[in-house]
């Protein structure tokens, strides 16, 4: 379990996933919020959508997905923690996580994340005034 953390490269792994028992959820979320990572945390519980499918979409390694799906009454906490993944991993282990894994989160590509204001204005103008194609 801890060996998985050590073999990963801190610069290439920006998210941490941990498996906890359902009864640990309140304590874990409280500590995560107090440590300043609450706004980067997602809790995944087994609900109508299959847990395996929801975990697959996050980009978690298949072995972690299988491990989480095999735990009855388990929840998965995912914390996006660029440059702090090692510290968050150790925190989650200290809180009694059944398993902790660092991974590269699946990302949604967006042209809005980094954009040129002039180019964006030009595109909007073309949409308002005509074809939307460059002239």
* Domains assigned to the chain: 2-103 (3.30.70)
pLDDT digits (tens, 9 = 90+) for 67-94: 887 777 889 999 999 889 999 999 999 9
> What pLDDT band is residue 2 in, cutting at 50, 70 and 90?
very low
Tens of pLDDT, residue by residue over 90-124, are: 999 999 999 999 988 665 433 334 445 566 567 66
Q: Is the separation of the CB atoms in 71 and 22 below 8 Å?
A: no
* Confidence bin at 127 (pLDDT 50/70/90): low
Tell me whether residue 59 is exposed, middle or buried, using C-beta atoms within 10 angstroms of its C-beta: 0 to 12, 13 to 18, 19 or more.
Answer: middle
Cβ within 8 Å of residue 42, ≥6 positions away: 77, 78, 79
What is the rounded (10 degree) CA torsion for 51, 57, 60, 63?
50
> Quick check: 130 and 93 in contact, CB under 8 A?
no
């Amino acid at each position: 379990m801890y060996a998985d953390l050590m073999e990963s490269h801190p610069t290439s792994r920006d998210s941490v996933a941990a498996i906890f028992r359902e009864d640990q959820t309140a304590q874990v979320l409280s500590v995560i919020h107090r440590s300043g990572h609450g706004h980067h945390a997602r809790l995944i519980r087994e609900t109508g959508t299959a847990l395996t499918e929801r975990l697959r979409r996050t980009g978690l390694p298949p072995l972690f997905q299988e491990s989480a799906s095999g735990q009855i009454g388990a929840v998965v906490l995912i914390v996006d923690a660029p440059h702090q993944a090692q510290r968050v991993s150790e925190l989650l282990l200290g809180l009694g996580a059944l398993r902790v894994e660092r991974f590269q989160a699946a990302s949604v590509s967006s042209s809005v994340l980094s954009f040129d204001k002039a180019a964006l204005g030009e595109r909007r103008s073309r949409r308002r005034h005509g074809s939307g194609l460059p002239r």
